[in-house]
Structure 1
Amino acid sequence: MRIGTPGFVPARLTEARAARRIPSMTELARMLGVTSSKVSRWESGEHSPEPDALTDLARELRVRREFFLRPVFDSTRPFFHRKLASASKRDRTYQHAQVNWLNEVSSIAQHYVDLPELDIPDLMTSTHFKQLRDSDIEGFAMSLREHWGLGDGPCIDVVGLLERVGCVVSSIEMGTSKLDGVCSWSEIDQRPHILLANDKMSLPRRQMDAAHELGHAILHKNVTESELKSDLKEIERQAFRFASAFLMPETSYIRDLPNFSLAGMLTVKERWRVSIKAQISRLRSLGLIDSDDATRMYKTYSAKGWSRVEPLDREWKLPQPQLLKDAFQLIVDSGTRTKEDLLAVEFTLHRGDIENLANLPSGWFLKDPSPVIELALRKTHDKPAAGGMTGQIISFSNRPDKD
């Protein structure tokens, strides 16, 4: 009688298949050399795989066998995907699985390291997102700037700011231009977990994406899954309005802008680190240009080829999250756990996935830290010559003249 594998968690199989972008149970069955109905019964929980089949699953999905015996690090709260409407289900489930894995990596880091205390004030209190006016959103953005001591000038490293106030941030290649980022409040540690895309990214776009996800964390913490589906357009608009207000405060940004032209926006881009396209949208939302002006600007913008890459974008290094990277480096450097221990005991994920999500260098788990060699002064040594230096002067002959 076959009893399968006791403790097998079917949702982990679904999650791993999504994380590997395997489009269907049929495709996974083909990879394993089994019937699709067998994989279907595993994912539904009707049956569990035999030990040999579990080994095959772990090999094909590049996880440890124990991966399938631990619970999913999931959240019942909605996931706020940028460009959700145009992204495929396969891309969204991939991103969802990666956020779950980010939760897992973060949770293990927090076994040993205290991350910064969460410092995100509850600005919404009992307000429902449908009750928000644009003036409320503008006010929230300025309140946060004041709370964090940012003043009204440029905020040129939103990723670093998010980590300082206790958010868990990661950035990975999404493999598609349809996904920019995702945010979800973790029920494990009650922190926002934010995953950003590295695909075709520039610093201004990274700034806007990070601020956009912060907007979701502030404005939409208590949104339900059904509300997300029915009011997606308005939820996304609110997050973008918050991000624009946070990055370009009305008074100070406008004060810096010499005129309402593309040339004027390019002038202030270097200081404010926001894209020209985002500036056009900001001026339109503030009523400083009308829809016809904005349309003309977008057409000129496109004609200049700026839809592909804007001026200055290639001159700026893309800021990367550091919090998890520093946490794992501290764990190892302090001798609390070795890299081998972490992989063999704590993690069930492949080392490459951990390195990717924690922004660790590729191969970090394979590289041993350089041994520290202690040196001692020799007990006997020659006295230094006058002036504290020793040595022999060697005279060089003059170089022969060339013919």
Structure 2
Amino acid sequence: MRVGTFGFVPARLQEARAARRIKTQKQLAELLQVASSSVSRWEKGEIAPDADALSALAHVLGVRREYFLRPAFESDRPMFHRQLTSTSVQDLRYQSAQMNWLQEISSTLQHYVDFPEVDIPDVLGGASWRQLREDDIESIALELRRYWGVGEGPCGDIVPLLERIGIIVGTIEMGTSRLDGLCSWSSSEVRPHILLATDKMSFPRRQMDGAHELAHAVLHKNVSAEDFEENLKEIEDQAFRLASAFLMPSTTYPYEVNSLSLSSFLYLKERWRVSIKAQIRRLTDLEMIPKDHATNLYKLYSAKGWNRGEPLDQEWAITPPRALKDALNLIVSSGVRTKKDLLSLEFTMSAADIENLSSLPSGWFLQREGEIVQLRTSDSRSPSRLGSTGEVLQFPRR
């Protein structure tokens, strides 16, 4: 009689299936060539897979066997995502699973390196997010700029700022344009993590996505999962308003708007590096553009085909996050751990998953680690042939 594997964690199987976009238990069962009822009972915790089945699961799902024996790295804080009506449950589960993996990588690396301390001021002062008015959010945006020394002009690249204030940032291809980003506070580290999409990405879009998730980290740290589900629209509106106010502060940006036209917004895009669409929304929120005029601008915007891509979108390079990548390079280069050790002892997901989430080049774990070598001195230049002492020569007097 075969005995199930002791210590098997059912939640890890659910997580891995979501991370691999295997939609149903039946699909996984077909890949494993087992009955779908077996997969169902494994995920429910009614039975555990035996040693052979566990090895098959690890192979099909691209993880180590030990992956299923470690506790799921889940946070009791909600994961803030833009839950559009067109977003599938499978996509959201995939995103959540990848966020769990990002937090697991971060937690593991912090055994060896110190990431910057979280430097996010308490802008609510003990108040609830429910009490925030639009004017409050505008003031918070200016307060954050002053606190982080951003000034009141164009923000610059948002990703280095996020990492400077202690936020762990990962990037991954979401496989759909309907998912832009995700933010979650880690319970164990008490640190926000942000996961950004790389799909069809442009610098202005990355700016808004990063600022939007930053807004969640600032305003909604103490929001419960139940509150998020029940008040999704209000919470998302607050995050977008703060992101827009942070990237386009009310004290400077509006005064550079010379006309309420797409050509004017295109000119401002080159300086402020935010999308034309975001500018229309910002000026509408500030009541500088009447709603009927905003509607006409959106129609013209769509007629130009800019929903598929705006002018200047590819003008600026996108900076990948550095914190996780630098940490892994430091750990290996200092000899604390080898790449093989990291994969076989520390991490349980695949090398490709770690490289992807940490912005490492593909195949980094396969590259040989550098060795310290000395140049060999040829026989003709050896110390024994040159002599052990030198002769001091004086320059002739003029």
Q: Give your verdict on TM over 0.5.
A: yes
Name the amino acid aligned to 2:272.
W
What is the SS of the residue equivalent to 2:194? strand
Offset of 1:124 from its aligned partner? Answer: 1.6
Alignment partner, residue 124 of structure 2:
124
CA RMSD across the alignment: 1.3
Return the alpha-carbon distance in structure 1 between the equivalents of residues 84 and 214 of structure 2. 17
Alignment partner, residue 389 of structure 2:
none
Task: Tell whether the 8 Å contact from 1:84 to 1:92 is kept in structure 2 after alignment.
Answer: no
Offset of 1:376 from its aligned partner? Answer: 5.9
Offset of 1:59 from its aligned partner? Answer: 0.5
What is the SS of the residue equivalent to 2:340? helix
Return the alpha-carbon distance in structure 2 between the equivalents of residues 371 and 256 of structure 1. 55
1:69-92 CA deviation, whole Å, 9 max, x = no partner?
Answer: 000110111111124433110000
What is the SS of the residue equivalent to 1:246? helix
Alignment partner, residue 46 of structure 2:
46
Task: Tell whether the 8 Å contact from 2:333 to 2:370 is kept in structure 1 after alignment.
Answer: no
Alignment partner, residue 62 of structure 2:
62
Alignment partner, residue 138 of structure 1:
138
4+ runs deviating over 4 angstroms: none
Alignment partner, residue 324 of structure 1:
324
Task: Tell whether the 8 Å contact from 1:129 to 1:219 is kept in structure 2 after alignment.
Answer: yes
Counterparts of 1:2-401 in structure 2, within 5 Å, are 2-375=2-375, 378-379=381-382
Task: Tell whether the 8 Å contact from 2:172 to 2:196 is kept in structure 1 after alignment.
Answer: yes
Name the amino acid aligned to 1:286.
L
Offset of 1:220 from its aligned partner? Answer: 1.1
Offset of 1:2 from its aligned partner? Answer: 3.5
Task: Tell whether the 8 Å contact from 1:10 to 1:44 is kept in structure 2 after alignment.
Answer: yes
Name the amino acid aligned to 2:142.
M
Name the amino acid aligned to 2:86.
S
TM-score where L is the length of structure 2: 0.93
What is the SS of the residue equivalent to 1:250? coil
Return the alpha-carbon distance in structure 1 between the equivalents of residues 155 and 105 of structure 2. 28
Offset of 1:126 from its aligned partner? Answer: 2.3
Alignment partner, residue 398 of structure 1:
none
What is the SS of the residue equivalent to 1:283? helix
Return the alpha-carbon distance in structure 2 between the equivalents of residues 26 and 126 of structure 1. 48
What is the SS of the residue equivalent to 1:270? helix
Name the amino acid aligned to 1:102.
L
Offset of 1:369 from its aligned partner? Answer: 2.8
User: After alignment, is 51-60 or 361-370 more displaced?
Assistant: 361-370
Task: Tell whether the 8 Å contact from 1:83 to 1:180 is kept in structure 2 after alignment.
Answer: no
% same residue: 61
Task: Tell whether the 8 Å contact from 1:203 to 1:316 is kept in structure 2 after alignment.
Answer: yes
Offset of 1:325 from its aligned partner? Answer: 0.4
* Stretches of structure 1 lacking an aligned partner (at least 5 in a row): 382-403
User: After alignment, is 167-176 or 260-269 more displaced?
Assistant: 260-269
Task: Tell whether the 8 Å contact from 1:185 to 1:191 is kept in structure 2 after alignment.
Answer: yes
Task: Tell whether the 8 Å contact from 1:204 to 1:274 is kept in structure 2 after alignment.
Answer: yes
Alignment partner, residue 386 of structure 1:
none
